[in-house]
Structures are given as structure tokens and as C-alpha cells.
Amino acid sequence: MAIQLKNSLDIEKMRIAGKLAAEVLDFIGPHVKPGVTTGELDALCHDYMMDVQGTIPAPLGYCPPGYRPYPKSICTSVNHQVCHGIPGDKVLKSGDVVNVDITVIKDGYHGDTSRMFYAGEPSIASRRLCDVTFECMWLGILEVKPGAHLGDIGQAIQIHAEKHGFAVVREFCGHGIGRKFHEDPQVLHYGKAGTLAELKAGMIFTVEPMINAGRREIRELADGWTIVTKDHSLSAQWEHTVLVTESGFEVLTVSPAMPAMPQSLEPRIAA
């Protein structure tokens, strides 16, 4: 599959889809607290997407080759769950960290984003992992511009994660997105600068590093979807959908309550 450059109509539709996906996270954030089940979070998001936004939850029934259909409308990955956690009866307790991953379809276009949330007060170690992972995502995004390479994104993420003693999950990556949920290119969160595909204006893809507090090895649970750390260490992930512009990048998954880029990284933009 070749990398598709989006035209002006595609880009405008992707802005709308990205904004709507981010607004689901704004909506669900206050509900992530001790005592709630991940299944309840899923039901709230599902109803908000369908009844309020008029969007379609892309994960529901999604069935790539080799998988059974995904049974829920969002992914909720708690503590040592890396990604694709299936919402259910799990009750969040104080100190839990949870990634909520949202993908909506609006007018045939996909918006994809995820954030980390705390149920109650997190531990210092949990907060540090989530903060560093957030910085990793942004450091990757800040590499995006025409003429750069996908390897630039991966190297920036890997260096920052490993500098803090964390490990980058390698089996899952960011991806192109548009009318299809997953398109080329694959966006690795590790690698070497100057390698892989050259970035061109009109590319749209996700940057979504998964960072483990322990070792990088993972395993799949019996449900066929949920991925966990092999050593049971905590894992965190943040995700934005990004457009390559003529002069740099534009984050498409924006909303009023979206966490801002860390102030410590702002000098990199000025530079």
C-alpha cells in the first residue's frame, strides 16, 4: 500500500474527525475515577459518539486479518496493559492509570487519539512514566516536517524514553490514517534518524508511543486483543494524529481540554 497524500478536502474532513475524537476524551475524563468500571466508560463514550456527535466508533466490530471482531467502542488499557484493553467489569481503584483510546468515523474519515488518565491520586512512579511518555510523543511530533524522515521521529522518542530508564514497545507503531483506520506509513517509535520514508506535505499519521517502566517485552492475553507487559511493569501511551504541512506539522486531534505541549519543549519550536 502506497502512502497517500491528502488533498485539501481530505485534510478539512480529517480536522473535523480529529477534533471530534479529542472531544470524546474531554467528555470522558471526569468519569475516570475510582469505582467506575471500564465497561461503564465504554458505554458512556459509545452513547456520546452515537447520540451527541453523530460519529461511528471505529473499533466496534473492527476485524483485521487474524483477529476476532473487537467487541467494544473504545480501548481502555489499565496499569500494565499496553494497548487494546477491552472494556468490561474491571473496577478502577485509586492509583490506577488508564489509557483511553478513541477512534471515531465522521463522513467516512477517521480521527484517532488517546490520553492517559488517573483514577484518584497516582504514585510518583506512575506520574513520571506518564509524563515522560507524553514528552516522548511531543518530541516525535516536533520532528515532523517536509524533508524529514520517519526514523527521525523514532529516534527522538527512543532516546528520551531510554534516557529516563524506560523501554519502547516495538511490536506496535503509529500509522497512516484517513478514510481507512490503518494506512501506510507505519510510524516506528524507535530507530535511527535519516532512515525510512521521507515526510511530504499532505501525509497524515498517528504518533502514539507505548512506553514501559520495565522491559519492552509484551504478551497477548487470551481475549486475542489485550496486550500487557511481560514483566507486569506499568505501561503508558499518548497519541495524536498529525498532518505534515508545507512548513512543519499540524496536530489534528485538538480540543478545549487537550493537555498542552510541555512548556519545557517550547524552545524547540522557537529553534
Q: For 47-61, what is the mean pLDDT?
A: 98
Q: CA–CA distance from 119 to each of 26, 76, 101, 258 (Å)?
A: 15, 13, 16, 18
Q: What is the residue type of 212?
A: N
Q: Residue written as cell 489534528? A: 252
Q: What is the radius of gyration, based on Cα positions, of the chain?
A: 17
pLDDT of residue 109: 98
Is 256's pLDDT higher than 80?
yes
pLDDT digits (tens, 9 = 90+) for 151-172: 999 999 999 999 999 999 999 9
Confidence of residue 240 (pLDDT cuts 50, 70, 90): very high
pLDDT digits (tens, 9 = 90+) for 89-136: 999 999 999 999 999 999 999 999 999 999 999 999 999 999 999 999
Which of 52, 22, 20 is closest to 257 using CA atoms? Answer: 22
Which of 268, 267, 257, 252 is closest to 19 using CA atoms? Answer: 252
- Residue 203 has which C-alpha cell? 501525509
Rounded to the nearest 10°, the torsion over CA 68, 14, 196, 3 is: 80
Pairwise CA distance, residues 122 & 97, whole Å: 7
Rounded to the nearest 10°, the torsion over CA 127, 132, 133, 135 is: 130
- Residue 122 has which C-alpha cell? 497516582
Pairwise CA distance, residues 14 & 241, whole Å: 9
Which of left, alpha, beta for 105 (phi over 0: left; psi -120 to 50: alpha)? Answer: beta
156: Cα separation from own chain's centroid: 17
Q: Which CATH architecture has domain 8-270?
A: Alpha-Beta Complex (3.90)
